[in-house]
Homo-oligomer: A and B are copies of this chain.
Amino acid sequence: MKIHELIRELREPSDSKIVLLVADGLGGLPIESGGKTELESARTPNLDACAREGVCGLSTPVLPGITPGSGPGHLGLFGYDPLEYRIGRGILEAMGIHFSVGPRDVAARGNFCTVDDAGLITDRRAGRPTTERCVAMCRKLQQIRIPGVEIFVEPVREHRFVVVFRGDELGDAVNDTDPQQTGHKPLEAQGEGKPAENTARFVNLFVSEAARVLRGDAPTNMVTLRGFARYPKIETLQEIYGLRPVALAVYPMYKGLARLVGMDIADAGATLGDQIETLRRLWNQYDFFFLHYKYTDSTGEDGNFAAKVEMIEHLDAELPKIRALDPDVLIVTGDHSTPSKLRSHSWHPVPVLLWAPTCRPDPVIEFGESYCLRGGLGQFPAMYLMPLAMAHAGRLGKYGA
């Protein structure tokens, strides 16, 4: 990315510290038209104080109208163009169960399905088996050995699992084997180009072995695989920004995303309180701290407006402990919106608060979507948050004389 080259050229050494606090799915919607969002309904005296001193705005994670998943949402916040850097479904699934994917891996999402005697699929999700059964079936698949490749099979939940092929010269341009409808056989894997042909050959061998070992286990008597993806080669935050970054996250997928961009992964405990205690403990060892707070998203996905408000208020109550560490730049934002009204991620712009002593005043006196609309950061692509953080942290020199 052009801006990454520019940052490398302009960056300057500094002892300043940047905290990026991501409240997952922070942006919301009112239940009733004209009402208040979750963030606006929450009592947030500490966030409001930061908003008054700092500068606010609304970020667009990908493009207007585009709803991001967690991968693109976080890549944007970490300063990457989420349209240029894509993380395949297989890799994200592997990260989601904390499987440590590496450069020789191709990962795919697997589904148990049901086939009849003729091999035609009768249920693409095998009647949604219990997770216990998923684990037991995966144990059978783990016995499969194919010469020339290492294969890892890990259960996810219900009919879902992850399979990772590890070897040399493995490409990921391989089609999904799920025919997307019943009454058809699983598709044969085919590779585009030599490395992907290698992968496809191993995939087809694995699938026929899977059919053999699962033969007597209807309804979980067959598998389909999709989202073949290699571990993406991404320049790290160290390489681009010269930062020493660490992630304080509870959930595996966010740790995985952080590891992908070069962050160290701290053992941050299970609660926001634990995370902030870890932040305090590691304060002198790092200069970029990514704190991930999951519950604003999960309550939004549950459609629980009141619970999301409560989670935001909990976050606000913990904020003074972070400010007490005296960061040079403190950012509070989300990776996308998750309005409880929609029970899902959405495309709506995301509230952003950037606090630093070098902020120009704006009219924002409360942290909320309506105020952010009038904020000094305006509406901007999320990937520019990192350059702004670097500037306010005194870590960027002048471009050109």
Q: Does A35 contact B (CB under 8 A)?
A: yes
Whether B396 pairs with A67 at a CB distance below 8 angstroms is yes
Chain A 324-363 interface residues, beta-carbon cutoff 8 Å to B: 342, 344-349, 357-363
- Cα A384 to Cα B60 in complex, Å, equals 12
Whether A358 pairs with B29 at a CB distance below 8 angstroms is yes
Q: Does A133 contact B (CB under 8 A)?
A: no
- Cα A357 to Cα B344 in complex, Å, equals 15
Main secondary structure of the interface of A (DSSP, over half): loop
Chain A 67-97 interface residues, beta-carbon cutoff 8 Å to B: 67-73, 82-83, 86-87, 89, 92-93
CB contacts (< 8 Å) of A349 on chain B: these are 376
A interface residues, Cβ below 8 angstroms from B:
2-3, 6, 10, 29-30, 33-35, 37, 52-53, 58, 62-73, 82-83, 86-87, 89, 92-93, 342, 344-349, 357-363, 369-370, 373-374, 376-380, 384, 386-392, 396-401
Q: Supply 30 A–B pairs (Cβ within 8 Å), ascending by A.
A: A6-B63, A6-B83, A29-B358, A33-B357, A34-B53, A58-B378, A62-B399, A63-B384, A64-B377, A64-B384, A64-B388, A65-B387, A66-B387, A66-B399, A67-B398, A69-B398, A69-B401, A86-B400, A87-B400, A89-B401, A93-B401, A345-B398, A346-B391, A348-B360, A360-B369, A363-B370, A373-B374, A373-B376, A373-B378, A374-B374
